[in-house]
């Protein structure tokens, strides 16, 4: 199986609001995006793109002090075989090829892999179940 990943942009600023610049060749792909309040941004954990972090298969989930050691695919760890991050953000505005967003947890310089509109009827799963160690919020046990 072959494939090629193309970075479509970069996180320019992590201030408030965060700025995501889309490369000119992909800018037309933003047409119509301003009608959505929230977006899903997929990005590359560029600071974890090394052999050591790509070999990590078990972690204690960050921000969950009472969590057990689990497989990396049961966590949101940035250390993983393919360092891909996912974040739901609030779209503030679009100016040319730049998105202004809130809630992006990427670092400045993180390459952008893809952007998808957040669709409440498809992306929200009210009956979703999580392990007890996840709790209701960051670091909170149930």
What confidence tens digit (pLDDT) does each residue in 130-141 have?
A: 999 887 554 443
Structure tokens at 113: 């892999």
CA distance 104 to 141: 24
Spell out the residues 6+ positions from residue 59 whose beta carbon is closer than 8 angstroms to its own: 69, 70, 72, 75, 77, 79
- Nearest-5° Cα angle at 26, 19 to 3: 110
Is residue 132 assigned to a domain? Answer: no
Structure confidence at residue 86 as a pLDDT band (50, 70, 90):
very high
Say whether 132 sits in a helix, a strand or coil: helix
Is residue 2 assigned to a domain? Answer: no
The number of domains in the chain is: 1
Residue 19 clears pLDDT 60, i.e. is over it: yes
Say whether 9 sits in a helix, a strand or coil: strand
Domain span holding position 75? 9-119
Is residue 124 assigned to a domain? Answer: no
Is residue 134 assigned to a domain? Answer: no
Structure confidence at residue 2 as a pLDDT band (50, 70, 90):
confident
Is residue 128 assigned to a domain? Answer: no
Q: What pTM was computed for the model?
A: 0.89
């Amino acid at each position: 199986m072959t494939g090629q990943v193309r970075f479509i942009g970069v996180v320019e600023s992590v201030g408030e609001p965060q700025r995501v610049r889309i490369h000119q060749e992909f800018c037309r792909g933003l047409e119509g995006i301003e009608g959505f309040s929230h977006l899903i941004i997929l990005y590359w954990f560029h600071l974890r793109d090394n052999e050591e972090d790509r070999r990590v298969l078990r972690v204690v989930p960050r921000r969950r002090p009472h969590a057990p050691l689990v497989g990396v695919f049961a966590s949101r760890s940035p250390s993983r075989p393919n360092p891909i991050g996912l974040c739901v953000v609030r779209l503030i505005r679009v100016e040319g090829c730049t998105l202004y967003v809130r809630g992006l947890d990427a670092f400045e310089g993180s390459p952008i892999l893809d952007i998808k509109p957040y669709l409440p009827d498809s992306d929200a799963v009210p009956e979703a179940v999580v392990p007890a160690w996840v709790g209701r919020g960051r670091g909170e046990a149930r």
